[in-house]
Amino acid sequence: MARKKHGEHVSHERWLVSYADFITLLFAFFVVLYSTAQGDQKKAAQLAAAIQDAFQQLGVFQSTSTSPAISPGSTQLLPKTPSNQVLATSGAQAQDGEDPVVDIEQLRRELKRELTREIDRDEISLRMEPDGLVISLREVGFFDSGSPRLKKRSLGAFEKVAHVLSERRNLIRVEGHTDNVPIHTSEFASNWELSTARATEVIRMLLVEYQFPPPRLSAAGYGEYHPIASNETEAGRQVNRRVDIVVLYLRSRTIVSQKATGPRVKASAFVTKEESSR
């Protein structure tokens, strides 16, 4: 007598095997990601901080930059704001055993107190930007039209600025700016040249008259291409004709002495070269 065949039993829980394999692989994937991130984070942060330091000295990072600042001692990216930039830079210096960078807001208050008269006359303005504190020396107070040399009557105000800055060690970038009115004189063929000459004149004064260490300084000429006001009005053009002394959040690590003497005195310069329509 033939036996009846019973139907095969179908398991409805076979999906658990695939699910368990998937969870195991997912866990292993995140473990690898975590270990990789932890191992490379410190080196990557140190490299990024070094690159940022070098580019800011050259003036490549402009005040409108939105690039994040990275602290070698940090575990996260910090938005590039004045307060966070101080934290990032201070962290890097603390690792090197150096003193923290100067409080830029404190410096702004001190300069505002010393330059009250010049600020009231609209000859100087102070503003905070992502790179640091900008001390704007306007043409109306410091330069004759088309001239790169400081006015004699402006030397007192310039001395106040130099005296306050000489007590710090922050890097300084001096930027020359003009309006968009063409210039063509026997001395300067374009606004590029005038803006650069004014910036390097300020550098020369800081070096020769006030013995600033050369590694702190750099110069840049921007011509008409970085306005802070409209060039459509005379008032706006007057504001755009200026030399900006940018006190960076970064501090020089190569200064051996606060005195710069002898033939070694020279300023490093980063001058933008571009054809002008003038």
Q: Which CATH topology does 17-278 take?
A: 60s Ribosomal Protein L30; Chain: A; (3.30.1330)
Q: Given this model, what pLDDT does residue 159 score?
A: 97
Q: pLDDT digits over 211-256, tens only?
A: 999 999 999 999 999 999 999 999 999 999 999 999 998 775 544 3
SS3 69: strand
Q: Given this model, what pLDDT does residue 46 score?
A: 64
Instruction: Report the C-alpha gap between 173 and 197 in whole angstroms.
Output: 14
Q: Which residues contact residue 9 at a Cβ distance below 8 angstroms, ignoring those fewer than 6 apart? A: none
Domain locations in the chain?
Answer: 17-278
Q: Given this model, what pLDDT does residue 237 score?
A: 96
Predicted TM-score of the model (pTM):
0.59
Contact 79/89 with Cβ under 8 angstroms? no
Q: pLDDT digits over 103-116, tens only?
A: 899 999 999 999 99
